[in-house]
Structure 1
Amino acid sequence: MVKLEGIATFVAVAESGSLSEVARRLRVSRSVVSERLVELERALGTSLLQRSTRRLALTEDGLAFLERAVRIVREVQDAAADLAERRGELRGPLRISAPVTFGRMHLDPALYPFLARHPGILLTLDLDDRRVDAGADGFDAVIRHGPIADRYLVAWRIGASRRVLVAAPAYLARHGTPRSLEELDGHRGIYYLHRGVADWRFAQADGMRIVRGQPGLVLNNGDMMRDAAIAGLGIALLPRFIAGAALAAGTLHAIDVGVEAEQEHLYIAHADGQHPSAKLRALAAWLKDAFGSPPYWDTL
């Protein structure tokens, strides 16, 4: 008979690669972990792990079994969390993906009081600037910044995001300050890799206008874009949640070209067809309240 504790132990060992680490995490002896794995292999009639004195490796059958084993463990965890929510508790795993810069600067400080209030929640936060697939990559939700373009996502707005053209005082002293969209064309641009040179979008009365400066630097991280602008390498179009402190300190200056950049939003989204848990709904409401309306970074 295949036991759930054996499956959960196998998944933990496959993820960590260490029997000792799993024993410490589960608060059992190393021999108990080994016994559970042997019992599971006996019940399945195959070897799942290749053991040596130096390392653990999954066998071909182990790799095949792992994918379903992970799903089984998650389903049981989610079922237990659903029962807790029926009793008015928020507990169980919550897996979130978020952009690196926003996560480090603003999401982390907002999350800690939420987790302190709900200690039964086990949060896994993956900071990554790539646009992960909320459903296929195993996340309960993703936090994103920008236009909501994915039809398979159900999105809740948690904050507005104003973007502003910025440059270092030294850059503007050397190259001049553009005063119109037309004057931007001759300037060196710092662009976000995942949007490219079509990212400079401005709302005009007759529609959206895209301005393409001279590509000078293309990066995949907001912190580095801000720092490159401070270093005088060009003009960047940055959210105020990234540029606000530098603008307040005077290391960056805002550039007024007579029109506002396209309005964007921060949102938390889950896969369409996936029932959002009470944990996720509570987190979305908490973040929206923590960021404020207008969000605090727009008032710096």
Structure 2
Amino acid sequence: MMKLSGIAAFLATAEAGSISAASKRLGLATSVVSERLADLEKTLGAKLIQRTTRKLSLTESGRSFLPRAQRILREADEAEAELAAQSGTLAGPLRISAPVSFGILHLGSALCRFLVEHPEIDVSLDLDDRFVDIAADGYDAVLRHGPVGDTRLIAKRLAVSRRLLVASPAYLKRFGQPTSLAELADHPGILYSNRESDWRFRTPGGWSVVRPKPALRVNNGMIMKDAALTGIGIALLPTFFVHDSIASGMLVPLDVTVEAEGAELYLAYARDHGAAARIQALVDSLRRSFGDPPHWESR
């Protein structure tokens, strides 16, 4: 008889592309994952994975079994969640990805409160600033900044944030403060490298994009804030990064007469995901923790 643990090992290996990556995802030793794969192949009487010294690939049988394995685990997960909900308890694994800076600054404490509320849920959080593919990377849900355009996903909005142009007092004393988009374009910018045309502003005639000379390009908001604090340029950052620095006077918000495009926080997950009840509970908990309006938006 097939064991769910073997199916989980096969699915993780197929999605992760290697046994070592699958073992990391499952929190198991590589030898354990290999043994479970071998047991599954023995039970099925078919080779599912072709292993070589350089790469791992699915056999024809493996490709055929893959959608069935996904369906088996999803149905098992749904059954577990349904029974837990009937008993008034949410239980089971929940693997989440989130951006590094927001995770450190705001998500960690909120997630701990969620675990106090639901101690039977086993949460695994990966912090990563790259764009994560939920299905391919094996996540149950992903926290993202900005709208989620993938129609295969359900996106639950968690909170909103203004984005403010900020600079240090020392920078403004040396270079002056821009008061219009035209003046802003002449200043060095600290730019977020994962988003093209990042400096977008709502004007009476529509959206206007400013492309300043880069002082620094980086894919991490905390480093952008640190760069602004040192005075090397102007940064456009969500208030959840800079509200404390503005309150202390270490950073100064700039007024260029128009408002920058805001930032929205979403939790996205696959439409047919079996952990939907756990994810909705997480959404509700995070919304309570962040507040409406969120605590970082206090003026």
Distance in 2, Cα, partners of 1:271 & 1:69 = 17
Matching residue of 1:26: none
Q: Which residue does the alignment assign to 2:183?
A: 183
Aligned to 1:54: none
Q: Secondary structure at the match of 1:233?
A: coil
Aligned amino acid, residue 195 of structure 2: R
The 2-side partners of 1:134 and 1:141 are apart by: 7
Cα pair 2:181 2:210 within 8 Å, conserved: yes
1:57-97 C-alpha deviation (Å, 9 max, x unpaired): 98977x95896797355653443223212332211111222
Distance 1:257 1:35 in 2: 62
After superposition, residues 112-191 of structure 1 pair within 5 angstroms as 112-191=112-191
Residues 224, 70 of structure 1: CA spacing in aligned structure 2 closer, same or farther, 3 A cutoff?
farther
Q: Equivalent residues in 2 for 1:242-253 (5 A)? A: 242-253=241-252
Other structure's SS at 1:135 match: helix
Distance, in Å, in 2 between the alignment partners of 1:209 and 1:153 is: 29
Aligned to 1:218: 217
CA-CA distance at 1:274 after TM superposition: 4.5
Aligned partners of 1:82 and 1:277 also within 8 Å: no
Partners of 2:233 and 2:133 in 1: CA distance:
33
Shift of 1:183: 0.6
Query: Shift of the alpha carbon at 1:166?
Result: 0.7
Shift of 1:169: 1.6
Residue 190 of structure 1: CA displacement? 0.9
Q: For 1:34-65, what per-residue CA distance to the aligned partner results, in whole angstroms no more than 9, with x for missing partners?
A: 98777555434578899xxxxxx98977x958
* Residue 16, structure 1, aligned to residue 27, structure 2: no
Name 2:201's counterpart in structure 1: 202
* Structure 2 counterpart of 1:176, one-letter code: G
Alignment match, 2:226: 227
Corresponding residue pairs, total: 286
Query: Normalising by structure 1, what TM-score?
Result: 0.80
Aligned counterparts of 1:34 and 1:133: Cα–Cα separation in 2: 25
- Alpha-carbon distance change, 58 to 268 in structure 1, aligned in 2, over 3 angstroms: closer
Contact 2:12 2:138 survives alignment (8 Å):
no
Say if 1:189 and 1:124 are closer, same or farther in 2 by CA, change over 3 A: same
> Percent identity between the aligned chains?
50
Q: What corresponds to 1:262 in structure 2?
A: 261
Separation (CA, whole Å) in 1 of partners of 2:287 and 2:188: 36
SS at match of 2:260: coil
1:218 CA displacement: 0.9
Summarize the Cα distance change of 1:34–1:154 in structure 2 as closer, same or farther, 3 Å threshold.
Answer: closer
C-alpha distance in 2 between matches for 1:6 and 1:264: 42
Contact 1:47 1:59 in 2 (8 A): no
- Measured in 1, the distance between the counterparts of 2:264 and 2:194 equals 17
The farther-off stretch of 103-112 and 7-16 is 7-16
The gaps in structure 1 that reach 5 residues or longer are: 24-29, 51-56
| Distance of aligned partners of 1:70 and 1:237 in 2 relative to their CA distance in 1, 3 Å threshold | farther
**Is the deviation greater in 35-44 or in 121-130?**
35-44
The answer to whether structure 1 residue 192 and structure 2 residue 192 are counterparts is yes
Secondary structure at the counterpart of residue 257 of structure 1: coil
1:281 aligns with 2:280: yes
CA distance in structure 1 between the partners assigned to 2:188 and 2:175 by the alignment? 9
Report what 1:98 is aligned to.
Answer: 98
TM-score after normalising by structure 2: 0.80
CA–CA separation in structure 1 for the residues paired with 2:228 and 2:263: 21
